């Protein structure tokens, strides 16, 4: 796959990037080089290779998925001027 000058200009217009003729020609060469490298990667045989997320094997840290009340209700309303059964009490603003 190769990129022509019209494609470079179209991509630049879609990305709202102003490019001159010289810049577009330079970008065309750079994009074609990148695409050539990607095509080389597709030639590598990866049958039987497990996908990896890191260069060193590691287990993800997991916690138990348990529903709790958070045990923080008393701490949350501790500094409230008025509270009742772990609810904030506020002055009535609507008559």
Fold of the domain built from segment(s) 5-42:
Histone, subunit A (1.10.20)
Q: Is 87 helix (H, G, I), strand (E, B) or coil?
A: strand
Distance between CA 32 and CA 72 in Å, rounded? 58
Cα–Cα dist 82/30, whole Å: 66
> What was the pLDDT predicted at 60?
80
pLDDT for position 49: 86
In the chain, what are the domain boundaries? Answer: 5-42
Q: Treating both helix axes as pointing N-terminal to C-terminal, what angle do 5-14 and 21-42 enclose, rounded to 10 degrees?
A: 100
Task: Give the DSSP per-residue string, 61-81.
Answer: P---------S-HHHHTTT-S
What pTM value is reported for the model?
A: 0.49
- Average pLDDT by consecutive 10-residue portion of the chain (95 residues)? 90 94 94 93 88 81 84 89 91 87
Residue 8: the pLDDT is 94
- Asked whether the beta carbons of 29 and 5 are under 8 A apart, the reply is no
CB 60 within 8 A of CB 53: no
């Amino acid at each position: 796959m190769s990129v022509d000058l019209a494609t470079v200009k179209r991509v630049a217009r879609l990305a709202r990037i102003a490019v001159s003729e010289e810049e577009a020609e330079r970008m065309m060469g750079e994009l074609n080089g990148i695409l050539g490298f990607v095509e080389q990667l597709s030639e590598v045989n990866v049958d039987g290779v497990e996908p990896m997320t890191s260069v060193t094997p590691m287990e993800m840290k997991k916690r138990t998925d348990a529903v709790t009340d958070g045990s923080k209700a008393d701490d949350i309303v501790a500094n409230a001027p008025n509270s009742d059964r772990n609810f904030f009490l506020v002055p009535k603003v609507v008559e």
